[in-house]
Structure 1
Amino acid sequence: MADATADTPDDGAAFVQLPDGRRLAYAEYGAAAGTPVLYFHGFPSSRREARLIHADALAAGARIISPDRPGYGDSDDAPGRTLADWANDCAALADALTLEQFAVLGVSGGGPYALACAQHLPQRLPVQLTACTLVCPLGAIHRDDLLAQMSPAARISLLPGRQPAWLADLIYGAPTTALLARLPGLVEQFRHIAAPPADYAVLREGDTAAILNRTIADAMRNAARGARRDLTLYTHDWGLDLQSIQQPIRIWHGTADGTVPIGHARWLADRLPKARLTELPGEGHYSVPIRYARQILTDLLQRHTTATGAAI
């Protein structure tokens, strides 16, 4: 892993106005003139999560464009969302930035959103999605068998998404979100639950914990509307047809991941027609996207080159 503080960029929000009038906030990392990669953050998190891979993206030649999903960070909220709606937002973002070709990288809870783009963006010419990578992706936890694979703490935190909206609002209402926004370090204890040694090591390195804490504060602002919506979307049918996705999908996952078990990646790989799963022995939920960032990005950019014939 490269030093995440090298040539640290300004991760304040830039904005794109979407066709419905909403503002979508994003930040850029890595190589300003590099190959465009849309980075989809985890849950709960924000655009600043991508700062963790800034130096590796710079070295790989990747221009990381990391948007806040609606209701997260500085992006306007959008009630009544589906996963598929994210593809429309990304097409508008690409149009605004004059990107005709780009890759996507979905990490953890960003994985389902990357799959939504893989299914729907091919219908949005001239925008071309060239390559798609999932890192430690969350599986379809509306299925009891996939939810049951997760740790008890993870299941407890996710189950409110299956409950009536009023109950989820009570659990994750103003007192809870205000507390987490003010003291995001409280989540550090949760990160260590069921974490393998690889994750413990990574979470102690450099400013990793500080960056992750900042993303929690971002996610909890504005009553955590985006995070609460994700809870609902993740724990109900995604509305995606995985078998119809013809985009080649590369999946990277640690076998010791205690947050999103390796079984989720295997389940996805079995259902995506053109998926390739790389299992990393002993690695966890945080060690994979951080320790292997350069390898993951190099592979993603190589596949972009194969798809477009462009030079990296």
Structure 2
Amino acid sequence: MTERDDAIFRAGTPRAAEFNEELSRIDKWLTPRVFNIEMSGGHSVRAYEVGPPDVPAVIGCHGTVGVPIQSGGGGIGYIARYVSFAPLFCRLIAFDRPGYGGSSPQPGRKVGDIAPIVEAILDHLSVDVAGVFGTSGGGPSALATAALLPRRISRAASYGGVGPSFGPGGFDFVDGSAPLFRAEIEAARKGEKAAREFYRNVIAGPPRSPENDYSALEFSLQSRSSAAPDPVSEKITQQLALPVNPYPQEDAYVDDVLSWCAPWGFELGSIKAPTRFFHGLEDVAVSPRHPKWMKSQIPNASLELYPHIGHALDKLMPHVLAWLTMA
């Protein structure tokens, strides 16, 4: 800052007062809020919002977490990324999907069961229309929301999102996947018992040796979640005084993978909102075949592929949010 700038912003000047007032507003916009919604059947959902109130709203469906966590997790990860990137052109709404974070489990849920939850959140916040996105295992939830709530969803995005277990034209979830991720879906196709064994032996089990198992190296490089706590998420968790997650993460994981392999409860071709897939060409967890095939099933869909990027697409979040908020 030059001496002239220093003089302009010197404490007590009108410009300094305006500047400090704007900083105060921004700080307020970057302060997350948390709320709970009671659903029918005794089910409850914990949700969050952050950002200015008078900009387009976007709702995020988080992915399938791959390591045990005690607090944070779920939708709080999206909130942390928003605070880090500060894309103040949109208002971000996130929530813990059933069984994650502070949202109660919904055993036997199907992918399409997410739509009433999203609708209840939008109603609670008096948001008429929003964009929706989902990451990895949350991709199907975003697509379900677009298909089943056509009047509430303006645009839909899936980045790093998984496709269905099978599809017309010979699409098969496991084709092109690395061995470890292929084994995950093959276990889920066998049912709940096999899915739980996979979770306990691989995801929550003792570390495997990358030197002796290349698939373990792939998993460690492109895991859905890092075992190391994210400092921004931890800070927000403390700021909001979030309690320790009360539900076993194993149950949420099993419900997720079983829902991928079962009928989703809607047809991809029924999605009318503009839809875009964002995917890394180096993704060994979810083969790029997934978004390519899903794009072919949705009339108004497009695809962006990124070289030298795997399953971790966090840095694309501002770009995805910008596309979702386009008029």
TM-score, normalization by structure 2: 0.72
What's the CA shift for 1:165?
A: 2.5
Residue aligning to 2:183: 156
Indicate conservation of the 8 Å contact 1:142/1:237, yes or no.
no
Separation in structure 2 between the aligned mates of residue 282 and residue 69 of structure 1, nearest angstrom:
30
Separation in structure 2 between the aligned mates of residue 18 and residue 50 of structure 1, nearest angstrom:
23
Query: 2:193 aligned with 1:193, yes or no?
Result: no
Query: 2:130 aligned with 1:102, yes or no?
Result: yes
What's the CA shift for 1:13?
A: 4.9
Cα shift readout 1:93-136 (whole Å, capped 9, x = no counterpart): 111111111110111111111111111102xx5xx211111111
Indicate conservation of the 8 Å contact 2:154/2:274, yes or no.
no
Name stretches of at least 5 consecutive residues in structure 2 with no aligned partner. 1-25, 66-72, 238-243
Indicate conservation of the 8 Å contact 1:60/1:298, yes or no.
no
Residue aligning to 2:22: none
Cα shift readout 1:257-281 (whole Å, capped 9, x = no counterpart): 2221211111111111110111122
Indicate conservation of the 8 Å contact 2:33/2:49, yes or no.
no
Residue aligning to 1:309: none
The one of 101, 110, 118 equivalent to 2:146 is 118
Residue aligning to 1:253: 279
The one of 24, 27, 35 equivalent to 2:45 is 24
The one of 231, 255, 261 equivalent to 1:235 is 261
Residue aligning to 2:162: 138
Query: 2:61 aligned with 1:40, yes or no?
Result: yes
What's the CA shift for 1:146?
A: 2.8
Within-5 A mapping of 1:68-79 = 68-79=96-107
Cα shift readout 1:168-205 (whole Å, capped 9, x = no counterpart): 345546x988x57xx9xx69x88961688xx79xx8xx
Change (3 A) 1:35 1:267: same
Indicate conservation of the 8 Å contact 1:142/1:236, yes or no.
no
Identity %: 24
Aligned-CA RMSD value:
3.8
Separation in structure 2 between the aligned mates of residue 263 and residue 31 of structure 1, nearest angstrom:
37
Indicate conservation of the 8 Å contact 1:219/1:227, yes or no.
no
Indicate conservation of the 8 Å contact 1:160/1:231, yes or no.
no
Separation in structure 2 between the aligned mates of residue 19 and residue 86 of structure 1, nearest angstrom:
13
SS in 1 for 2:107: coil
Name stretches of at least 5 consecutive residues in structure 1 with no aligned partner. 1-5, 307-312
Change (3 A) 1:164 1:256: closer
Cα shift readout 1:248-306 (whole Å, capped 9, x = no counterpart): 101111112222121111111111111011112222211x3x2222222111111xxx2
Within-5 A mapping of 1:45-56 = 46-55=74-83
User: What is the one-letter code of the residue matched to 2:99?
Assistant: G
Query: 2:265 aligned with 1:222, yes or no?
Result: no
Change (3 A) 1:191 1:221: farther
User: What is the one-letter code of the residue matched to 1:53?
Assistant: R
Change (3 A) 1:155 1:149: same
What's the CA shift for 1:57?
A: 5.8
User: What is the one-letter code of the residue matched to 1:140?
Assistant: P
Indicate conservation of the 8 Å contact 1:195/1:257, yes or no.
no
Separation in structure 2 between the aligned mates of residue 33 and residue 276 of structure 1, nearest angstrom:
28
Indicate conservation of the 8 Å contact 2:63/2:138, yes or no.
yes
Indicate conservation of the 8 Å contact 1:118/1:132, yes or no.
yes
Which has the greater radius of gyration?
Answer: 2
SS in 1 for 2:86: helix
Indicate conservation of the 8 Å contact 2:110/2:262, yes or no.
no
Indicate conservation of the 8 Å contact 2:129/2:153, yes or no.
yes
Query: 2:324 aligned with 1:297, yes or no?
Result: no
What's the CA shift for 1:246?
A: 1.4
What's the CA shift for 1:32?
A: 5.1
Is the deviation greater in 31-40 or in 69-78?
Answer: 31-40
